[in-house]
A and B are shown apart, each in its own frame.
Chain A
């Protein structure tokens, strides 16, 4: 229990408020050496976990942003073929044996390391963040599985590269595609909900210390109410912070029903679709503001 509280404190000083369950899971990933799969709505701070954890462990953060069509060349390694071509032309005058030239061309000098290769060839164990893995296709997922089980990459021209240290792997997913069971089985799992009042207030205080205590409370209460409404896109923590900044910028120091008109001007930081926006008439805003 002390470990967990300790890690929570460290994460907090790195700017991330984690509940005890998450801290316990992070400790477990260290113990078991398994990747951690994090799911949750957009904007609940999935990516931030990796960043904060890297800061706490003072490890390097290596990030692989997944997208449709991500392939081995963008994720693992690629040969720097322009330089290789140049080298071939230069080596034409060289009278060394052919095998030596070839070895020269396919040496590490001409290898471009992409995030995954980078992560397993670090001297000190880094934090590897594989962001939005559901955007990459299934073929890539299979490749990823192989890497996560053996922590080695084989490059046909160069041989197998084994991990010097095991990276700590954190995988995030938004659920645009169902992940394979194999990947899920290999990972520890954590689902992050939208934060409750106390947690969100703590986050606002850490990330936006310039907001006065009363305003911070009101902002959080307001956002919590908004989340309970039927919206297409519920505001995440990032939106709460943006909105706080917007309020401060407009010089609004207190949320009350009189200031509804001015609050509406700042709502573009919180509400992100037109359909949702039409629901926020001055009456509605005033009503929510009155309860804060």
Chain B
């Protein structure tokens, strides 16, 4: 019964096989980490289990081609887009403007217009949407991400992040590992090694402390007041993502959105496209408290654990409820190992944290650091490392 599926080999026309094999290319274009060998596996699987049943094909390909939760979530839509008749286009090709129109159509739907006419007529700009008032000050004009790629300081940023990553690698936790040298004797392996010399312990084995990198979660404020620094920090984030594996990056303004996958995309053009889609609302108002609360609810349990350093980048100008912010930070505080807050305004000599959000946040932070430019970040690097340890 169990190996029955293997027994039922079915012939599939070569057209069909090509089509199915092409699915892995389609997924690749949508940012899945599929390799050439996967197409072979797809065809194998399909010819073993048959393709007549759509459900089985879907389940099999899903478990075969997905590698992580984000991919698992998106799979069904992509599967439908590829295998169900009308829509063969790569999903990401829809540009940011079209996407934001869809969003407005969804959020401003007063029931008066049917969605089709909305989509046709919606010529969106920021003031127009602010006039609707449905989404509190979300900026829907598209942001130009091309700046992200040919940036003059890109190399400096990468160098700095490499240094940060390197220093993070040297963080030590109170775990021990065997080594050739050290301060504490590892009795068990010393005796084990003594077998070779007939029970006389000639060589000693030692224990040293083990190095463990913390997980980093970056929360970048990209609201209007942060405009001058948003790109700079996104660049930092991308360089950091390249250096370290366990970095998770989010942008927030009135909502919080994960951009890790987009930043990790090796193809710079496609990374740009994906950011375009994700960045609806870039440069609008800020609701830090609500965003952090959303983050806690949706990602907190999965991402933040006792070895996580949370880095928040924001100027603290909050249009939302500060009580919410305090609440969210307190929750985050309990989960995370450390919370570090970068405030670009902190560089100014006469700065005192007067912004409401900043004042509320102060008691929950392990480190409040200035960060308007590379030099400033470079200066606080030792403190940052220390506070993450």
Contact = CB atoms under 8 A, between A and B. Distances in A.
B258 interface: no
Contact of A41 (B48, B49, B301, B307): B301
Interface residues of A, number: 51
A69 B6 CA distance: 40
A28 B64 contact: yes
Interface bracket on B = 35 or more
A28 B63 contact: yes
Given A25-B60, A28-B45, A69 B210 contact: yes
Contact of A31 (B3, B68, B69): B3
Nearest to B335: A232
Contacts of B335: 232
Interface stretch (A178-186, A211-219, A252-260): A178-186
Contact of A89 (B4, B55, B62, B199): B199
Contacts of A184: 33, 67-68
B359 interface: no
Contacts of A234: 301
Contacts of B303: 175
Nearest to B55: A20
A136 to B, nearest CB: 12
A32 B44 CA distance: 9
Given A24-B56, A31-B6, A177 B1 contact: no
A96 B6 CA distance: 55
B241 to A, nearest CB: 12
Q: 7 smallest A-B Cβ distances: which pairs?
A: A184-B67, A24-B59, A25-B63, A21-B59, A188-B63, A191-B72, A189-B66
Contacts of A20: 55, 59
Interface stretch (A77-85, A146-154, A283-291): A77-85
A230 interface: yes
B195 A3 contact: no
A191 B68 CA distance: 8
Interface of B: 1-6, 33, 35, 41, 44-45, 48-49, 53, 55-56, 59-60, 62-64, 66-69, 72, 175-178, 191-192, 194-195, 198-199, 210, 212, 215, 245-246, 297, 301-303, 305, 307, 331, 334-335
Among A78, A180, A188, A190, the most chain B Cβ lie within 10 Å of the Cβ of: A188
Contacts of B63: 21, 24-25, 28, 36, 188-190
Contacts of B64: 28, 32, 188-189
B59 A175 contact: no
Given A3-B2, A25-B59, A177-B215, A81 B198 contact: no
A27 interface: yes
Nearest to A186: B67
Nearest to A27: B5
Interface in A38-64: 39, 41, 56-57
A68 interface: yes
A263 interface: no
B131 to A, nearest CB: 33
A191 B72 CA distance: 7
A41 to B, nearest CB: 7
Interface in A144-198: 175-178, 180-181, 184-185, 188-191
A89 B6 CA distance: 56
B41 A32 contact: yes
B305 to A, nearest CB: 5
Contacts of B245: 178, 180
Contacts of B55: 1, 20, 24
Given A36-B63, A79-B192, A184-B67, 5 more contacts: A27-B5, A85-B191, A85-B195, A176-B307, A181-B33
A176 B301 CA distance: 10
A6 to B, nearest CB: 5
A142 interface: no
A4 interface: yes
B225 to A, nearest CB: 29
A105 B195 CA distance: 10
A5 B81 CA distance: 27
A122 interface: no
Interface string A203-238: 000000000000000000000000000101110000
Contact of A30 (B3, B176, B215): B3
B1 A185 contact: no
Contact of B60 (A28, A88, A191): A28
Nearest to B8: A3
23 contacts: A1-B55, A1-B56, A24-B55, A24-B59, A24-B63, A25-B59, A27-B2, A27-B49, A31-B3, A81-B191, A81-B194, A82-B191, A85-B199, A88-B195, A88-B199, A137-B210, A175-B303, A178-B215, A188-B63, A189-B62, A189-B64, A189-B67, A232-B301
